[in-house]
Amino acid sequence: MAKICVIGLGYIGLPTALLLSKSHNVYGCDINPVVVSKINSKEMPFFEPGMEEVIRDTNIIAATQPVQADVFVICVPTPFDKEVRMADLRFVKQALESIIPYLVSGNLVVIESTITPGSCEKIAIPILERSKLIVGKDIFLSHCPERAIPGKTFYEMVNNDRIVGGINSTSTDLTADIYRSFVKGTIHKTDIRTAEFVKLIENTFRDVNIALANELAMLSEDIDINIWKAIELANKHPRVNILSPGPGVGGHCIAVDPWFLTESTCKTKLISMSREINDGMPSYIVSKAKRIFSDAGIKDPIVTIFGVAYKGNIDDTRETPALKLIKLCEKEGWTVKIFDPRVKKFEYPLLSFEEAVQNTNLIIIEVDHDDFKKLDAKKVRDLVKSKIILDTKNLLIKDEFVKYGFRIHTLGIN
Ligand code: SAJ
């Protein structure tokens, strides 16, 4: 049983700490005192399926400062600096600096935060060695990137394979032993720089694939193809798996990590272009809405956005493409109303279903929450001003709405 201090108790750090605490003595550290006090009162600081029961039974002690431990696990965010298009490693550096006074010989430091390749060697080691302990000899260091998808975090943290790359084999082996306490998937061992790179290429693979789907959706509208049916058929090929188009890519990972690969090279044209295609989707949706208003002769429209979470069935709005969509609608001079039954806090006011739908000219379905699949066409008809819906996720059962006189426009269908 090791004493483990997890630094950063967010979407990844808290579930990791909770899972580790089933076999180890775990302390949590976060700079946000509200998060700390919620965890100490066994409350969830954010929603994640399955967390409520685990947090109720946990014996984790949270604080705003680290404690002396055998193992330190760094799970702080790595934001993307949009100005310079580079990873902002400020929080990782601060987290490493915060543990220096507590480091003793024999300690293991694991970085889970997403970082650019070479960061452990170039940034983490010089910081840790300010303790006068030598990394690889006195203390050990590895990168074990997280791979869990929000909404299924607990299942994936336990069942997914993991990549562990240490600065030397002792670091790798010590890390694998710690994670084996809760990971049922295979733990694959590699070197530290490859581990950093692998994390980034996983998310980049997904971003490029989504960009392809988005490009094909836009093309399909021009040549009168239903992209959703076409992708479904293409994916019947045993070696094809095209993802789904949509109003853009959000979240703290896929919308961000690919840029970490592009920051020091001009050899990543496909990666940069995919990011740009996905970032351009809100603007494409607005151009579709503009055409809808012009064809229907609607002036000074009211638009209702259904869903501002960055994806379906979660309450997380980080990097949500909805924000860009709302801003672009406002730039057109349209009145925007927002409804999201899952999200509690957002930059714009969140309205009740009735308030949001009342008198609107266009509902834009932005997120594939299950709640929207069950929309009552009659109820919507009784509230709206114009019976028009723009479905960016191909989520609605159209016949039901057509029966009530709606015109449904779908991304990727002309
Ligand atoms: N999206 C599409 N079309 C799709 C799938 C997703 O437009 O077919 C959009 C979503 O709506 C969302 C965005 O992409 O806006 C990202 O969603 P996601 O479900 O693809 O991924 P995340 O960001 O929630 O989690 C990803 C996962 N990475 C991979 O699947 C390779 C997860 O395993 C990582 O742990 C996580 O990033 C992370 O933290 O890096």
CB burial of residue 11 (10 Å; 0-12, 13-18, 19+): buried
Write the pLDDT tens digit of every residue in 297-322. 999 999 999 999 999 999 999 999 99
Q: How many residues does the chain have?
A: 414
State the closest ligand 1 atom to the C-alpha of 203, by its place in the atom list counted from 1.
31
38, 253, 324, 337: the catalytic one is: 253
Write the pLDDT tens digit of every residue in 113-149. 999 999 999 999 999 999 999 999 999 999 999 999 9
Among the residue ranges 255-269, 337-351, 382-396, the one predicted with the least confidence is 255-269
Ligand 1 centroid from CA 323, angstroms: 17
CA–CA gap between residue 253 and residue 112 (Å, rounded): 13
Residues of the chain with pLDDT > 90, as a percent, come to 95
Write the pLDDT tens digit of every residue in 70-82. 999 999 999 989 8
CA–CA gap between residue 104 and residue 69 (Å, rounded): 9
Signed CA dihedral, 176, 177, 180, 186: sign only: positive
In this prediction, residue 83 carries a pLDDT of 86
Whether the per-residue pLDDT at 381 is higher than 90: the answer is yes
What's the rounded mean pLDDT across residues 179-202?
Answer: 98
Whether the per-residue pLDDT at 375 is higher than 90: the answer is yes
Half-sphere exposure in the Cβ direction for 173 (13 Å, CA): 4
What band does 85 get if pLDDT is binned at 50, 70 and 90?
confident
Task: Tell me the three state secondary structure of residue 338.
Answer: strand
Is 144 annotated as catalytic? no
Q: Which two tokens stand for residue 99?
A: 């543990």
Among the residue ranges 351-355, 359-363, 372-376, the one predicted with the least confidence is 372-376
Which of the listed residues 205, 254, 342 should we mutate to test ligand 1's pocket, taking the one with most ligand atoms within 8 A of CB? 254
What's the rounded mean pLDDT across residues 86-103?
Answer: 97
Ligand 1 centroid from CA 254, angstroms: 6
> For the CA atoms of the chain, what is the radius of gyration?
23
CA–CA gap between residue 319 and residue 252 (Å, rounded): 6
Q: Which residue has the tokens 């980049």?
A: 204
Ligand 1 centroid from CA 132, angstroms: 40
Is 266 annotated as catalytic? no
In this prediction, residue 82 carries a pLDDT of 84
- E-assigned strands of 294-413? 302-306, 335-339, 362-365, 388-391, 407-410
Whether the per-residue pLDDT at 84 is higher than 90: the answer is no
Ligand 1 centroid from CA 77, angstroms: 16
CA–CA gap between residue 299 and residue 278 (Å, rounded): 29
Pocket of ligand 1 (CB under 6 A): 146-150, 202-203, 206, 210, 243-244, 246, 249-251, 253-254, 310-311
5, 29, 120, 199: the catalytic one is: 199
In this prediction, residue 264 carries a pLDDT of 83
Sheet order of strands, 140-143 included: 61-63, 25-29, 3-7, 71-74, 108-111, 140-143, 162-166, 187-191
What are the distances in angstroms from CA 383 to CA 339, 354, 360, 366, 380?
14, 7, 8, 19, 5
Which of the listed residues 249, 275, 323, 325 should we mutate to test ligand 1's pocket, taking the one with most ligand atoms within 8 A of CB? 249
pTM: 0.95
Ligand 1 centroid from CA 149, angstroms: 7
What's the rounded mean pLDDT across residues 63-91?
Answer: 94
Taking residue 166's Cβ as centre, other Cβ atoms within 10 Å add up to: 26
Whether the per-residue pLDDT at 240 is higher than 90: the answer is yes
